[in-house]
Structure 1
Amino acid sequence: MGSTNVYSDEEINVLITGFGPFKKEYPLNPSWEIASRLPAILPPLRAKQPSTQKPPLIPRVNLHVHPDPIRVSYKTVRALIPKLWAPTFDSSSSTSTSSTSTAALAAEPTTSEAPFSEQDAAATTTTTTTANEEEPTPKKYDFAIHIGMAGPQPRWAIERLAHRDGYALRDVDGEFLRDKENQLKDDDWVWKGCPAELRTDLDLDVILEKWRGYAPPGLVVAGTPQNGGGGDEKEDEKEGGKEGGKGGKEGEGGKGGGGGAKWYGNDIKGGNKGEKLVISEDPGRYLCDFIYYSSLAELYKRKAERKVVFLHVPCEVGKDGEYVRIGQELMLGLVRGVAEWLVDEKKRKGDLR
């Protein structure tokens, strides 16, 4: 067994969101299909190969999935994001009931040596009404992951930055953002004083290496030092839809099972040829970019560390939902990678208890 976890009296809480449908072509959004199927607590790792470096011990990680898919609407996102972050900064709102996180409270701390099985995974999602009523759970988030969809190729990207301006396309309600007008006329403009570009404070270069280490076999390019098999470098490198290009529209949704739906936006541009898990520098100036900037800006205004990342997933759910299943495993690996980075940062800064 592993040594005593130095964080045994702490927990890590992560906020996770996914988007709802986008027009008739995308009645299912893979971001929500992935988010809504996540367990309430980060499961223990599967048994690793003897040659794999032992990951650091981390505390229990509670996954707080926002209970509803977020409407692909500027107004919806702008109204929601401050509410999601408010309890983190308001001590009077630091507890509330949550079906997803209550199960986490009853679970054992995550260790790097415990075996993992389907039975374990099922146990992490079990909740009861009685438990929810008896044990309110903290809603202070240590970091957040927003999920949205990118192009049809099976690539997954974590976004480094987001943009304040350039949202020139209509949302699902047919509305424009019109922030340029607000920026010029309104002294109370919500993003007044915020820079045109905001970057996450998470070290994505380090987190990418950790993330790749937990990727399913076949998603890491052969020859890279991370765990995983050689990637298939064939058809996955096609760039974007017909209407792609920088700043192009990013369709927020995914058609169940794939099959010829019109693609509205950009493909993932980051990474080298053949890489399936990459860092991107352009989230597309549509609702994915908008929600990411909204979160970063909310933390920026509060002078807090911007521990947020956006994950882009393929727009299709894949044959028999294969991309959703892969996406779930990748999300858990990403959560673990960020949690490990947080632990490493605490050690580096000498903030251990």
Structure 2
Amino acid sequence: MPSGNKCIVVTGYGPFRGHKVNASWVAVQELKSLGFDDEQVELYVYEIPVSYDAVKRTIPDLWEKHKPDLMVHVGVSAIVSELTLEQQAHNDGYDRDDVDGQIPHTKMCVDGSCHNIIASDLNMSLVCEDINSIQEMKVKAVVSHDPGRYLCDFIYYLSLHINKGRTAFIHVPPLNAPYNAFELAQGLRAAIKSMLNHLPLH
């Protein structure tokens, strides 16, 4: 891991629709408890409401407050069964109600952005290989290019728009389908360690 203190901000989402307990926030809390072997890693975790307005208010403030070396957003998806590393996010198509019954007025994340898709500078294929090479860990990882045009896609695009060199998004499956919270946290920790090693040099 590169030398010097590394500040990492990890967010998980709160309850929504069929997810009265959101596996993403449970896994992020477990990650906080698990911690990092490296004392030079400063980890901050936040639960974000499944709300477009809350994301738009909160995420720029977290970037400004912490100036993180790495911002990792975590969300749950009922259609994934592995740790799913998202490579890119979309600016438009946000027409599904959030927990407040709201959608963005323009159905866009960042009005006026000239990029409909922004990809992270972090190579998720390399991160995926690193995770899957850890034989003693139960969790396996895959790479995806479609975070789903809901709050997960939305939060990812917003952070990529702020700093695409230091932003990542990870989808986790629901709890015990097949991984428990501790196993998911182990996977998140492995992913973050890999991402720190692959951070672009700028």
| 1:206 aligned onto 2:126 | yes
Please, what TM-score do these two structures have when normalized by structure 2? 0.88
Which consecutive aligned stretches of 4+ in structure 1 deviate over 3 angstroms post-superposition?
Answer: 214-219
Separation of aligned partners in 2, 1:150 and 1:281 = 14
Alignment correspondent of 1:145: 72
Alignment correspondent of 1:157: 84
Alignment correspondent of 1:259: none
The higher radius of gyration belongs to 1
Task: Name the SS for the 1:36 alignment partner.
Answer: helix
Match of 1:291 among 142, 151, 155: 155
- Alignment deviations for residues 191-240 of structure 1 (CA, whole Å, 9 cap, x no partner): 32341100101122222211222365444xxxxxxxxxxxxxxxxxxxxx
Separation of aligned partners in 1, 2:118 and 2:16 = 26
In the TM superposition, what are the counterparts of 1:79-90 in structure 2 within 5 Å? 79-87=57-65
Give the superposition deviation at 1:298.
2.1
Separation of aligned partners in 2, 1:317 and 1:64 = 22
Match of 1:19 among 9, 13, 29: 13
Identity of aligned residues (%): 31
Separation of aligned partners in 1, 2:128 and 2:2 = 25
Paired amino acid for 1:83: D
Separation of aligned partners in 1, 2:169 and 2:76 = 10
Alignment correspondent of 1:254: none
**Alignment length (residue pairs):** 201
Task: Name the SS for the 1:179 alignment partner.
Answer: coil
Please, what TM-score do these two structures have when normalized by structure 1? 0.52
Alignment correspondent of 2:171: 312
CA contact (8 A) 1:194 1:297 kept: no
In the TM superposition, what are the counterparts of 1:93-172 in structure 2 within 5 Å? 139-172=66-99
Separation of aligned partners in 2, 1:295 and 1:198 = 10
- Alignment deviations for residues 73-127 of structure 1 (CA, whole Å, 9 cap, x no partner): 111111111111113xxxxxxxxxxxxxxxxxxxxxxxxxxxxxxxxxxxxxxxx
Give the superposition deviation at 1:323.
2.4
Separation of aligned partners in 2, 1:306 and 1:294 = 13
Task: Name the SS for the 2:85 alignment partner.
Answer: strand
Structure 1 317/141 Cα, relative in aligned 2: closer, same or farther at 3 Å? same
CA contact (8 A) 2:32 2:45 kept: no
Separation of aligned partners in 1, 2:94 and 2:125 = 28
| 1:337 aligned onto 2:201 | no
Separation of aligned partners in 2, 1:6 and 1:83 = 26
In the TM superposition, what are the counterparts of 1:170-181 in structure 2 within 5 Å? 170-180=97-107
Question: Is there any run of 5+ residues in structure 1 with no aligned partner, and where?
Answer: 45-58, 88-138, 184-188, 220-275, 300-304
CA contact (8 A) 2:6 2:68 kept: yes
Paired amino acid for 1:325: F
Structure in which a larger fraction of residues adopt strand: 2
Match of 2:45 among 60, 65, 76: 65
Separation of aligned partners in 2, 1:148 and 1:306 = 20
Separation of aligned partners in 1, 2:7 and 2:87 = 21
Structure 1 15/298 Cα, relative in aligned 2: closer, same or farther at 3 Å? same
Alignment correspondent of 1:235: none
Match of 2:111 among 165, 175, 191: 191
Give the superposition deviation at 1:324.
1.3
CA contact (8 A) 1:215 1:330 kept: no
CA contact (8 A) 1:163 1:196 kept: yes
- Larger relative contact order (Cα-Cα within 8 Å, sequence gap ≥ 6): 2
Separation of aligned partners in 1, 2:96 and 2:106 = 12
